[in-house]
Copies of this chain bind each other. A is one copy, B any other.
């Protein structure tokens, strides 16, 4: 039914071994023979059997990319950048690799299952993006899995995720703490003293780090934080909307709202507007990530730009072994404060 290597070999009047070598180009084959083989491949419309090849060669051309939420541009942008580097069609030489983007939905179980699936496929590399879940048993399970993957020869890269010690994984970490701190210091500098914070899911490292940065800034400026000023939620718009209403209910005197990310900030803006408050005249708003739409908010969003595409591209190159790992296997990537229209001085109460 389907065309096999042997068929091509027969047609080209050579042995299967020769066909394989022509296809892989890793062994000298006379030019005329190569021609003949390639013609046969073409005429028969032969397509290599991936599984068979992977089995025999004990390697595959699959690269896994784990993301928390593929529908979120934060991950989409990184995934896109990673994929553009791992080759595949359009990429540079070095064999075509297939990117497997896996959507974990932020669930640790799924993350593990996907890692197993990738291990099963003998993936050439795996890139894990975004914050990790802090639950200890799961973290340990993931770490064990990563170690196993690394042992099996799969290159493991973390992109936008804290390092996983003793796993052999290369980490490209975002400086969420520093960014969070800088952002809040900017607001404090404008004169704000009563700042609400809309955090992401509580057990996520990203959430914690950004919040820590925020609190560090408060502390550094002698601002005592009211526990009611922090609300946890999800990393989406709706969560930001609801959390903002809650924040307003708890303390209507807040003059600024710092959001866990831009989507949340957008929700916050909507909630503020719906509550009859002006931005930034009545309340300033700040986001995080600087996703493409953030500049189009009205007023445009003050936020911390994370070089997602650059980080993804670098992670991709490292995963492909085309770039050296950073010293110590860990690199911290800083964000850049983008001051825009959504932040201003506090209203005079």
Contacts and interface: CB of A to CB of B under 8 A. Distances in A.
A15 interface: no
Interface stretch (A25-33, A106-114, A126-134): A106-114
A269 B298 CA distance: 10
Interface of A: 2, 45, 47-55, 60, 62, 69-73, 75-77, 79-80, 83-84, 88-90, 96, 98-105, 107, 109-110, 112-114, 116-122, 148, 152, 236-237, 263, 266-267, 269-270, 273, 292-293, 295-298
Given A51-B52, A114-B89, A297-B298, A83 B98 contact: no
Contact of A105 (B90, B112, B296): B90
Identical copies in the complex:
2
7 contacts: A51-B121, A71-B79, A88-B110, A89-B109, A90-B113, A101-B101, A237-B292
A167 to B, nearest CB: 16
Given A76-B72, A122-B51, A117 B102 contact: no
B99 A83 contact: no
Given A73-B73, A237-B292, A297-B298, A113 B99 contact: no
B70 A76 contact: yes
Contacts of A273: 298
A120 B77 contact: no
Contact of A120 (B50, B88, B100, B118): B50
A126 B199 CA distance: 38
Given A89-B110, A266-B296, 8 more contacts: A50-B51, A51-B121, A70-B101, A76-B76, A88-B110, A89-B113, A98-B118, A269-B296
